[in-house]
Structure 1
Amino acid sequence: MIFLLLLGVPVALGHLYLWRRLVVDTTRPRSLGRRVGTVAIIGAFLLLMSALVVSRSVSPEQAKFVAWPGFVWLAVLFYLAIALGVAEIPRRILLRRATTAPVPVGAGPGPAEAAEVVPDPSRRLFIARSVAIGSGIAAGGVVGYGMTQALGDPRLLTVPVTLDKLRTSLSGFRIAVVSDIHLGPLLGRSHTERIVRMINEQEADLVAIVGDLVDGTVAELGEAAAPLRDLVSKHGSFFVTGNHEYFSGHEQWIAELDRLGVNPLRNEGLTVAGGIELVGVNDVTGKSYDDAPDFDRAFTGRNRDNPVVLLAHQPVQVSDASSHGVDLQLSGHTHGGQMVPFNFVVPVQQPSVAGLSKVDDTWLYVSRGAGFWGPPVRVGAPPDITMIELRSAG
């Protein structure tokens, strides 16, 4: 309910703004067009709210019928509001000019006592309709492009990272990093199969799935996740929880992934390839589910002469990672902002939006993720699968 309230209020205000600019300003009072437009805006609002509610209360197979149109409309709403907002200044300038010549007012012959500026209704309608059409084309174009990015193949990136402690014999060790797959009403088994195929083609040494695999229970999405059993790498596949796993029954998913051969790391670590300490910690959301991250436990028994690679869903966990001497943290969660301009909002909560950066002595790599949440749209943040190539300093 809190989630729906926080999202529902701005969504309602957004629809009210669109009604004003796209319906009231572009139609004549009491016209059929105004009545139809009003009903359409109300229907769009109800569709979007239904998508938010239904997608969380029924199976993904049922939810997709309202999730697809509802979440696409959410993206259109967002970019329409931006386009109309940007157009406000030129619209007002044009409207001030859209007037007839001053009309004298006053009684009797002689000089006019005052002058009244009378708006030209036809010119005002033309300006409002032109702005509405232009904004609609812009928003539609951005959303259409964003859908091709979100629904297409993730980009395959190669990122070299030099670790001082890495043995020369392990230089070139490759970790396939994928995050935020978000299986659910809009992304299913074929999405998983594509990701598995792309990773396997790279012949990685190790696969790291760093959270937010699913938006639904094992009963609903177990079949969609099943292709993960086909992941192939020299040293295995590993998984840490993201915040969405806790909304989807994390204990059941941990057991299911273990059954599929994807090894969950729950505040624990192991030595791989005879010289790399691989450690995984739970997501910070686990605090509310009696499954909090525990760095002290995770690092118990680790050989500090070896480089430490940490799997942690949220980049913000790098502060704890740095204090525990982690050499490289692999994260996701941010989606790279998913849709511009959200990439400018992410830094309010996270130390990195995407890519490789350094916090104290710890390298931090943040994947943009291979899926999406909400609208099937990515603008300025294409999905990715990353091959982290470890290199020795020697």
Structure 2
Amino acid sequence: MKYVPRVALFLAIPALLFAVPWWLLVYTTTSGSSLWIGSAVFLLAFLALPGSMILGHGRTHSDTAAVVGDTLLGTIWVLFSWSVFGALARAVLIVAGVEDPVRSRVVAVAVPAIAAALLGWGAVEARRVPRIRTVPVPIAGLGAGLDGLRLLVITDTHYGPLNRRRWSERVVEAVNAQRPDIVAHAGDLADGPLERRRAQVDPLGKVEAELGRFYITGNHEYYGDAPGWIEYMTGLGWQPLHNEHRVVERGGDRLVMAGIDDPTGVTVPGHGPDLAAALSGADPDLPVILLAHQPKQITDAVKAGVALQISGHTHGGQIWPFHYLVRLDQPVVAGLSEHGRTRLYTSRGTGFWGPPFRVFAPSEITVLTLRAA
């Protein structure tokens, strides 16, 4: 019985996502056999969504089912969002005196056309090599020798059921072309078993950064094999920051690169965020750059006097207007923000999770140029 509320919620959300477009595009515009056929299509899609998501992201890890479920989820989200706008447009047409069937047909054509265009564009955006975004960040206490240091951030690569080995290689080429001093991966490396995803992750071993390559776990590592990914990234030459820090030096000046686990890590013995442990033994006079997967970890970073926290997790919302829901859970969705003396940079992510679409939330490879302040 304790699982009944979860199951009910699991079914209620897709029911709402399908009900609105069904009402707008089928119920209000068709009749007779067309109504029954349209309703049957929506019902089958509704049943296919939770089934394919369970098969794809559950214990069986069926990549085919995951692709079907993820694509269906993204499609119905876009169709639902624009059906809401379509319902509003329909109300405006009623007030304007436009009669049926013209009123309903106009909306029934416009909504699917807009959704299809956005999904096509979103699919291209999700699969492209991310744009380079350069952001200057003033760091209090940064020595002259470190002024201008280029810290490149990738995050939320989410290597998954769609084989993106070639995309991974092209991302590495784009990263190396920026000639970064430091490269950081801020978590959510991959989804699914390590043995299935390692071929997509392997190109990261060719990332070049003179002062270090650092990696932290995101929440998705803890849905699989986080310790395994930490070990694997170590084998590729990266330095996992598992509640620990390293000191970076250039031109006689130093800074602290620290990293903490994602809060989901408490489900694994010996894991979970511990900022005190991460900064233990660090020189308190040195500026601290902290890798923390979720922006809401900024609360502890502020208390610890961290100069800059780098996060991902939000994907910038990934598919508009989902960012409004993300904002309910996180203090920031994307970009550079100030929290007292601590700055937070939240990346929109380098890859995508689940639905293979990005709508009004482009991916990014970020070059943070540290400046003495």
Matched, 1:251 2:227: yes
Distance, in Å, in 1 between the alignment partners of 2:285 and 2:329 is: 32
CA RMSD of aligned residues (A): 2.2
Q: How many residues align?
A: 366
In the alignment, which residue of structure 2 is the partner of 1:16? 19
SS in structure 1 at match of 2:355 = coil
- Counterpart of 1:71, as a letter, is D
Contact 1:282 1:292 survives alignment (8 Å):
yes
Gaps in structure 2 of 5+ consecutive residues: none
1:176–1:59 Cα change, 3 Å: farther
In the alignment, which residue of structure 2 is the partner of 1:44? 45
Contact 2:132 2:364 survives alignment (8 Å):
yes
Find 1:379's aligned residue among 359, 363, 366: 359
Contact 1:196 1:227 survives alignment (8 Å):
yes
Instruction: Output one character per residue of 1:40-64: Cα deviation in whole Å (capped at 9) or x when no partner.
Output: 112222332233112214776x52x
Find 1:128's aligned residue among 104, 112, 115: 104
1:330–1:95 Cα change, 3 Å: closer
What's the offset of the Cα at 1:297?
Answer: 1.0
Normalising by structure 1, we get a TM-score of 0.86
- Counterpart of 1:70, as a letter, is G
Greater CA radius of gyration, 1 or 2?
1
1:233–1:59 Cα change, 3 Å: farther
Normalising by structure 2, we get a TM-score of 0.91
Distance, in Å, in 2 between the alignment partners of 1:345 and 1:98 is: 35
Instruction: Output one character per residue of 1:222-253: Cα deviation in whole Å (capped at 9) or x when no partner.
Output: 12111111111102211011000000111111
Contact 2:129 2:167 survives alignment (8 Å):
no
Instruction: Output one character per residue of 1:178-232: Cα deviation in whole Å (capped at 9) or x when no partner.
Output: 1110110135322321221111111111110000011112122112111111111
Find 1:218's aligned residue among 180, 191, 194: 194
Matched, 1:339 2:319: yes
- Counterpart of 1:12, as a letter, is A
Matched, 1:143 2:119: yes
Contact 1:240 1:313 survives alignment (8 Å):
yes
1:269–1:92 Cα change, 3 Å: closer
In the alignment, which residue of structure 2 is the partner of 1:108? none
Matched, 1:6 2:9: yes
Gaps in structure 1 of 5+ consecutive residues: 100-122
Instruction: Output one character per residue of 1:277-329: Cα deviation in whole Å (capped at 9) or x when no partner.
Output: 11111111112323111111111111122211111111111111111111111
Distance, in Å, in 2 between the alignment partners of 1:18 and 1:333 is: 29
Matched, 1:169 2:149: no
State the identity %: 38
Matched, 1:194 2:194: no
In the alignment, which residue of structure 2 is the partner of 1:103? none
